[in-house]
């Protein structure tokens, strides 16, 4: 897992590395800007393009000045520097690098809020105004400058973080941060890069290694980690040679209505393709033919009006909700299910809506139940939220209070564990923004639970593999039923 750091933990990591490696802050900055320039040059190789470097007077501005110097040394012929003198303080890294830029006779202009330069001739702007030192929303001249640069229509490459965009915490008005075409960020992505509010700030980000101490970083607890391929590979187990279907658990899927039988088909199929030994679906009578034709491997239990919940003892893990409806019959079955206290449970879609109307049911959920809400389902359960930071904090609070695993689905899905820690899943693709995708995820989750993975591990594996399958369709559209077919091969690739 990759431990993500807050801005203040990053500063501590900088200090620790400086002491540990017996280098100066200037050396570390030089390593950082060298790493930045390698990526920048690979992306913008034309040495004749007009590059305008906007620098603040802190260390982010120091980086900008050093970048201008390195680019000139690399043969870039049209580099100019603009300095925003709106803060009184001048960081050491800024002062040192300003002297070096001046001695190379790189053109430097000091900005005034009375009028900012026309950048219509610039090929690319480099944003080194403010970095992780941001400690309040932008106002005054800063605000005007950021709006001017955003309105220039030129590509903007931000150093470390777009100016005005906080590394963590609530994100303010999109007018008040740089809208970067590319962010080249130091050492680790910042926590807020994974929040939906980053969409305006960051079209793309690349992370460059600047040599911060890895042991120090992994000893930090920001509450947020990023799921890595290595962590998934360590966790995912191959099928054993002497195993049989009983080894891999039996899932019960409580899903589907006449009109939404497809949801039951998708999650049953996902359970099969993810490797559950047996899959049983509790479905309406008029869905039986579809189930038998589509997935002959799945055992059916027919649900008619007034049917009680099947005896749950023989099932290793249970999923309820996809396409299930929220009528009285559905409510009665969800109540029976929760009262029966199943050991391993996934609740999705309509089951979540039923829970949101009956807070007592929410209180009765067995520990380690996995809930898989998208944003609207989450807010129905736990109240409306103005921004994602608050939403994730609420998820942390409820996951700890009720010992739940909450899978808050999005471009980057947040997996909130019963200890309040947040794992962020990096895989996925807009190809997955189609109906039925969540049903597949829920089916994958119940399958992995039945195979013996713990609830948190299940959430991590299911979201990661689901996203890997979707990423295969990058640039296209992926119908949910097609994604299911990719699951076995993606699992194989992670195991071997």
Ligand X SMILES: NC(=O)C1=CN([C@@H]2O[C@H](COP(=O)(O)OP(=O)(O)OC[C@H]3O[C@@H](n4cnc5c(N)ncnc54)[C@H](OP(=O)(O)O)[C@@H]3O)[C@@H](O)[C@H]2O)[C@@H](O)CC1
Ligand Y SMILES: Nc1ncnc2c1ncn2[C@@H]1O[C@H](COP(=O)(O)OP(=O)(O)O)[C@@H](O)[C@H]1O
List binding-site positions.
59-63, 127, 131-137, 160, 163, 263, 323, 374, 409-413, 438-439
Near ligand X by CB under 6 A, which window of 102-110, 129-137, 232-240, 483-491?
Answer: 129-137
CB 463 within 8 A of CB 456: no
Of 132, 192, 280, 372, which one interacts with ligand X (CB under 6 A)? 132
Query: How far apart (Å, rounded) are the C-alpha atoms in residues 35 and 58?
Result: 19
Query: How far apart (Å, rounded) are the C-alpha atoms in residues 264 and 288?
Result: 11
Query: How far apart (Å, rounded) are the C-alpha atoms in residues 326 and 335?
Result: 12
CB 178 within 8 A of CB 158: yes
- Is the CA virtual torsion 9, 15, 20, 23 positive or negative? positive
Place of tokens 């589509």: 294
Distances (CA, A) of 444 to 50, 72, 244, 268, 417: 51, 53, 19, 9, 18
Interhelix angle 261-274/480-495, nearest 10 degrees? 10
Paired strand residues for 2: 226
* Residues within window 18-77 making contact with ligand Y, judged by CB under 6 A: none
What would the x/- binding string for ligand X be over residues 11 to 50, using CB under 6 A?
A: x--x----------x--xx--x------------------
* Residues within window 435-474 making contact with ligand Y, judged by CB under 6 A: 435-439, 441, 466, 470
- Assess 96 for contact with ligand X (CB under 6 A): no
In the bound state with ligand X, the residue whose beta carbon lies nearer, of 164 and 321, is 164
- Assess 430 for contact with ligand Y (CB under 6 A): yes
CB 109 within 8 A of CB 83: yes
Near ligand X by CB under 6 A, which window of 153-161, 195-203, 437-445, 473-481?
Answer: 153-161
Of 10, 17, 59, 158, which one interacts with K ion (CB under 5 A)? 158
Of 31, 119, 127, 197, which one interacts with K ion (CB under 5 A)? 127
Minimum Å distance from CB 50 to ligand X? 23
Minimum Å distance from CB 436 to ligand Y? 5
Of 43, 87, 152, 307, which one interacts with ligand X (CB under 6 A)? 87
Tell me how long the chain is.
Answer: 496
Burial class (CB in 10 A: 0-12, 13-18, 19+), 363: exposed
**Interacting residue ranges for ligand Y, rule: CB under 6 A:** 374, 409-411, 413, 428-430, 432-433, 435-439, 441, 466, 470
Q: Which spans of this chain sit near K ion (rule: CB under 5 A)? A: 127, 131, 158-159, 163
Residues that bind ligand X (CB under 6 A): 11, 14, 25, 28-29, 32, 56, 58-61, 63, 87, 89, 91, 130-138, 142, 159-161, 186
């Amino acid at each position: 897992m990759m431990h993500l750091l807050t801005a203040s933990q990053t500063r501590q990591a900088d200090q620790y590395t400086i002491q540990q490696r017996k280098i100066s802050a200037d050396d570390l900055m030089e390593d950082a800007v060298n790493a930045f320039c390698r990526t920048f040059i690979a992306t913008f190789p034309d040495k004749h393009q007009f590059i305008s470097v906007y620098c603040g007077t802190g260390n982010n501005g120091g980086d900008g000045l050093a970048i201008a110097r390195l680019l000139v040394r690399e043969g870039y012929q049209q580099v100019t520097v603009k300095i925003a003198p709106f803060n009184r303080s001048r960081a050491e890294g800024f002062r040192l690098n300003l002297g070096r830029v001046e001695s190379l006779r790189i053109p430097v202009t000091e900005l005034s809020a009375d009028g900012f330069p026309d950048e219509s001739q610039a090929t690319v702007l480099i944003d080194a105004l403010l970095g992780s030192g941001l400690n309040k929303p932008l106002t005054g001249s800063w605000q005007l400058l950021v709006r001017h640069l955003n309105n220039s229509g030129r590509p903007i490459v931000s150093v470390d973080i777009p100016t005005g965009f906080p590394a963590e915490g609530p994100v303010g008005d999109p007018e008040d941060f740089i809208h970067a075409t590319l962010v080249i960020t130091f050492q680790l992505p910042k926590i807020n890069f994974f929040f939906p509010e980053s969409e305006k700030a960051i079209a793309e980000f690349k992370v460059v290694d600047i040599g911060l101490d890895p042991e120090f970083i992994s000893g930090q607890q920001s509450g947020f980690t990023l799921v890595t391929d290595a962590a998934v590979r360590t966790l995912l187990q191959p099928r054993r040679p002497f195993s049989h279907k009983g080894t891999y658990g039996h899932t019960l899927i409580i899903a589907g209505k006449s009109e939404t039988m497809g949801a039951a088909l998708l999650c049953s199929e996902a359970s099969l393709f993810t490797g559950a030994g047996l899959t049983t679906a509790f479905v309406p009578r008029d869905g039986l033919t579809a189930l038998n034709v589509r997935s002959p491997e799945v055992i059916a239990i027919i649900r008619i009006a007034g049917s009680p919940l099947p005896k749950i003892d023989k099932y290793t893990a249970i999923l309820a909700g996809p396409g299930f409806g929220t009528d009285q019959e559905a409510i009665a079955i969800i109540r029976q299910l929760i009262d029966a206290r199943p050991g391993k449970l996934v609740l999705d879609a309509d089951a979540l809506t039923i829970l949101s109307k009956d807070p007592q049911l929410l209180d009765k959920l067995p520990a380690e139940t996995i809930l898989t809400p998208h944003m609207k389902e989450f807010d129905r359960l736990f109240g409306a939220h103005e921004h994602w930071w608050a939403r994730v904090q609420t998820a942390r609070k409820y996951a700890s209070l009720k010992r739940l695993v909450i899978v808050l689905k999005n471009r980057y899905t947040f997996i909130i564990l019963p200890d309040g820690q947040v794992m962020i899943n990096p895989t996925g693709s807009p190809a997955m923004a189609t109906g039925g995708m969540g049903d597949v995820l829920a089916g994958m989750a119940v399958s992995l639970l039945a195979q013996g993975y713990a609830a948190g591990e299940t959430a991590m594996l299911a979201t990661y593999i689901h996203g890997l399958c979707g990423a295969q369709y990058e640039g296209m559209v992926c119908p949910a039923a097609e994604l299911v077919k990719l699951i076995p091969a993606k699992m194989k690739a992670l195991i071997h």
